[in-house]
Amino acid sequence: GRINKNENPLFNERQRVQGNFDFNQRIQMDVIGNIGTKLKINMNYNTEAQFDFENQVKLDYTGGEDDIIKKIEAGNVSLPLNTTLITGTQALFGIKTQLQFGKLNVNTVFTQQKSQSREIQINNGAQQNEFRIGGDNYEANKHYFLAQYFRNNYNKALSNPPTITSGIIITKIEVWITNKAGNTQDSRDVLGFIDLGENTPFNTAQISGAGYSALPSGFTNPQFPRASNNLLERIPAGARQTNSNDVISFFQANGGTDNFAKLTYARRLTEREFTFHPKLGYISLNNALNTDEVLTVAYRYTFNGVEYQVGEFSTDIPFDQGAPRVLYTKLLKNETTKTNLPTWDLMMKNIYTIGGFQISPQNFKLDIFRIDEASGIDRPVISEGAKLDQFNRPLKDKLWLQVVGLDRLNQQDELKPDGIFDFETDNDPFSANNNNNNSGANSFGNVGGQTNTTGATAVVLTNTKNGYITIDPANGRVIFPLLEPFGADLAAQFLPSEQPFIDKYTYPALYDSTKVIAQQLFTRQNRYVIKGNYQSDISSEFSLNSINVPEGSVKVFSGTIPLQEGVDYTVDYQGGRVRILNTGLLISGQPIRISTENNELFGLQQRSLFGTRLDYKVNNKLNLGGTFMSLSEKPLTPKVNLGEEPISNTIWGMDLNYSSPSRFLTKLVDKLPFLSTKAPSTITFSGEFAQLVPGHPKALDIGGSSGGVSYLDDFEASRSIIDLKSAIAWQISGTPQMFPESQLINDLAYGYNRAQIAFYNIDPTFYNRSASNLPASLRGNRTELSNHYVREIIEQEVFPFKETSTGQAVTLPTLDLAFYPTLRGPYNFAPTGFSQNGLLNNPRSRWGGLFRRMETNDFEANNIEFIELWVMDPYIYKPNSAGGDLYFNLGNISEDILRDGRKSLENGLPANGDASKYDETAWGRVPKLQPVVQAFDNDPAARRVQDVGLDGLSNADERAKFAALINQIKAQLNPDAAAALDNDPASDDYSYYRSTALDQSNAGILKRYQRYNGPEGNSKTPQQSQEDFGVENSASTSLPDGEDINRDNNMTQSDEYYQYKVSMRPADLIVGQNFVTDKITSQVKLANGSTQPVT
């Protein structure tokens, strides 16, 4: 057997020791055996095979020449057929028989099918692909303008195709994003400003662009004296320092974090991770950003021979470990999506992907349609509008392709629309110094290599492949030459008097609202469709999009004529590729069909196949055949969604094949001049008939129906749950915005109203009455185990109709919260407001908070609709309690728990106590540099120096720093309360629920978890655990505490969230109001033998 002991603090004590049998089974077997002359076994089995189809087993019985039973096969079998209307199959598992009755041969299979059939069509040597894209399905979070200037001039720059009239050439760019991967290579601390390089700033209260450059500019350097506004003049000098809080203080009264984003260890994208357009001024990322990721840039460009720069490159401000400084950059995307901010307009919403790569202009077709309200038909033309265009043509009866600007040119690139999509890639190359003969007026090509840009600190250009007007063939993107093709730019093509038409045809929500909101709430305007087809590059080799294809399962047809393997084509069954040998077939104009089977890698669908093939050989020239096959699928669930119905289909057919040599035809051909045949001629005739009888499994016949039932939407099955019960994922939070002190920065008053709150998952060991390691006060203590606040909860108490698979009672895991409004919470240094025994006065004014990260952070896109929680009546013992309020905040929550604009990280504190490595704040100590690794120092002795909580101070350091304040408070307390304050001045000590001290004091379960969430000392080494708590392992976590709960190397400082208030007063807990939707009252038998009703 095997016993695994893991002291992971995430596990409860019972889970830390696991035992199980260790069979260590490993078999690799190839067997070929014979029993007599008729029975043969062939087996290939490997326990380490990745897929089931790699293990093969076959039992083969072969009869005699005169036997009716010619062959019986069991195991992996196949049923090949020579017919074209009914195809055979190779990957089967079951029984196959071959019988002969005189001239009649009968092949029958009773099997399970282990493969799926698919078909690929090739036209003119290229695979054809169709696409259909909704007008609402633009590529979000991938394409961004570098400034409002480029957005405002986009339509103008593309108004004279195929020429780009810009005048700007971007010569250098650096792109920075949130470093969620933790890769510190090419990383820097950056500060992105929303108004950097903007002549019309967002924050007009503090920033002005009057009298400054209209072109984007923003870089403090004598070589680039121009600026778009006075932002860099107004920013405090201290903002340059990585650890400064001057920025948040400067902007606090005017939008706060809407004005900037600060990234620690931001990751600089490599030239392979993005492309940019040097004339139109936008970037395209290879991978879309998450909704909570930040994007900033610095770039340099020339205009009329003059160089401008926006932001600072990493070479402008070299990294200095002793005095780290941030880079000032242009903010393109903040961590919070707000459609009323200028950054929303910087995200392009006119680029769509068609799903292919390396798109060829040959046989490419794209059209725009609008779904008609009355008929539901896709219409390619607009049927209303009288405004004339530049060719004096009315809007009415125009192709939508022309309305949205994708058809402006004819095939000779003349400004004459021809009804065909303008496949414009405009690839005139630039010269090495980035100047072509047209002074920048021509369109963009592939820029690369090196440039001799005057004054540039770095001369190597990044990748600039994405320079197309209407299409990016390499990445399969369609780029509209209008900013809002279905919005404002469409509205501009109507007369002012045609407002009803504007309301009817435009889709403004697509551009002024998030993509999800536009799709879900504005469905009536969502009527535009982009349709077409494209082909891949011409080739003679084609992928089957699968591997380990069953041998013999690939059939290739030219038109309706079957081709011969090895002559016309070859197959790589292992790699899943087909090569056409006869190149004449590729250029013949006939479509080539490739039908194949692919083994299911992870097949869950069970398919049963019964089939019979009859062949009656009339003579050597004529053969009559018949085929019957039935394929049925077993439903995976009792409820089947529409479009995913399992099948139970039957197909039958007959065929005739006649072949006879003809000497007459041979002699007839020989009479032709200059011809002499050397082989006899043959007359061949074949004919087939087949009929498919579709059906469905009887399991879908619900309620007596015979037609089967599918579900439009099974709301239960589609429900997605995010479990929030794990206490280790939660952490104490900062002060909520509803308290006025929440606006304070680097001020102890920020925490004056914090009270004690505990959150925990009770260790199941407490419920094991016979556990020998439990203290005597709890072992078999039925009174304590009957306490509703700590007792074991059985699942049927909350879900009385839920059945368990074993029929046994199942314990329901719970997240337990205990709020103590009269106990001083962590980092509450209020000098007054408490009694002599140290309890807080006025508990109604106190709060306790906890927060956690959410991996699913885009609630709109993921259709997260509600929070569901079942709460045991908190007043079960005191029904007349006053109660309080419970608040839920969903959104961006500030990680600055001790608000000072500085990020506290325990492992950032120097292990040797070097005072030059940290700074002092009002709260304590914060590291000057953020550590690269999220782990404590390897030296166990350093743990006591680092594992000191969010204030960076041990209890001794707290007594020293706050000596005067502590003495002031102690003077108001009795001796016991004063001693408690002196032992833990910040009230942030961790207490292990199984410590010896708690055992000796006969503490109850509630008391044991009261200080469980303190961050100081919650990651003790085994030796420290033994010294302080008398146990082998007391740690609640092995990770350092800090103000970065989502571990993305950045401290979110914004509080932007939706808030829900639930009154927890007994009189308000009524079903139908106050968000209470249901109530369950169960009769619960307690450990002490009594039965009580519990709500």
Tell me the CA distances in angstroms from 226 to 145, 223, 304, 852, one per residue in order.
Answer: 21, 9, 14, 45
Q: Residue 50: which pLDDT band, with cuts at 50, 70 and 90?
A: low
pLDDT of residue 453: 32
Tell me the C-alpha distance between 764 and 16, whole Å: 12
Contact 232, 329 (CB under 8 A): no
Tell me the C-alpha distance between 627 and 622, whole Å: 17
Q: Which of 969, 1018, 972, 962 is closest to 995 using CA atoms?
A: 1018
Tell me the C-alpha distance between 112 and 107, whole Å: 16
- For 608, the token pair is 């049963």
Contact 408, 159 (CB under 8 A): no
Quick check: helix, strand or coil at residue 765?
helix
pLDDT of residue 680: 79
Q: Looking at residues 630-637, what average pLDDT do you find?
A: 85
Q: Which amino acid is located at 568 in the chain? A: D
Tell me the C-alpha distance between 1074 and 1072, whole Å: 7
Which residues pair with residue 499 across a beta bridge? none
Which residues pair with residue 530 across a beta bridge? 133, 368
Chain position carrying tokens 């021509």:
442
The string of DSSP codes covering 144-176 is EESSHHHHHTHHHHTSBTTB----EEEEEEEEE
Going from N- to C-terminal start, the domains of the chain cover 126-138+349-426+467-537, 143-346, 540-599, 727-1068
Question: What pTM does this model have?
Answer: 0.77
Q: Residue 106: which pLDDT band, with cuts at 50, 70 and 90?
A: very high
Q: Which amino acid is located at 277 in the chain? A: H
Q: Which residues contact 966 (CB under 8 A, 6 or more apart)?
A: 959, 981, 982, 985
pLDDT in tens, 717-776: 567 788 999 999 999 999 999 999 999 999 999 999 999 999 999 998 898 877 777 888
Tell me the CA distances in angstroms from 611 to 76, 102, 202, 549, 650, one per residue in order.
Answer: 15, 21, 72, 22, 10
Contact 500, 493 (CB under 8 A): no
pLDDT at 142 over 60: yes
Total residues found in the chain within this entry: 1095
Q: Which amino acid is located at 187 in the chain? A: S
Tell me the CA distances in angstroms from 218 to 99, 226, 262, 342, one per residue in order.
Answer: 87, 7, 18, 17
With a pLDDT cut of 90, the percent of the chain lying above it is 58
User: What DSSP element (H or E) covers 965?
Assistant: helix 963-970
Find the angle CA(794)-CA(795)-CA(798) to the nearest 5 degrees.
105
Tell me the CA distances in angstroms from 36 to 41, 67, 75, 152, one per residue in order.
Answer: 11, 17, 20, 87
The string of DSSP codes covering 612-655 is EEEEEE-SSSEEEEEEEEEEEEE-SSSS-BTT----EEEEEEEE
pLDDT in tens, 927-970: 988 888 889 999 999 999 999 999 999 999 999 999 999 999 99
- For 527, the token pair is 């009527």
623 CB-side CA count, 13 A? 16
Supply the DSSP symbol for 446.
-
pLDDT in tens, 354-396: 988 888 888 899 999 999 999 999 999 999 999 998 888 999 9
Tell me the Ramachandran region of residue 798: left when phi exceeds 0, alpha when psi lies from -120 to 50, beta otherwise.
alpha
Tell me the C-alpha distance between 34 and 42, whole Å: 9
Tell me how far apart the 2 most distant CA atoms of the chain are, in Å.
130
- Which value, in Å, is the radius of gyration of the alpha carbons in the chain? 37
pLDDT in tens, 498-524: 999 999 999 999 999 999 999 999 999
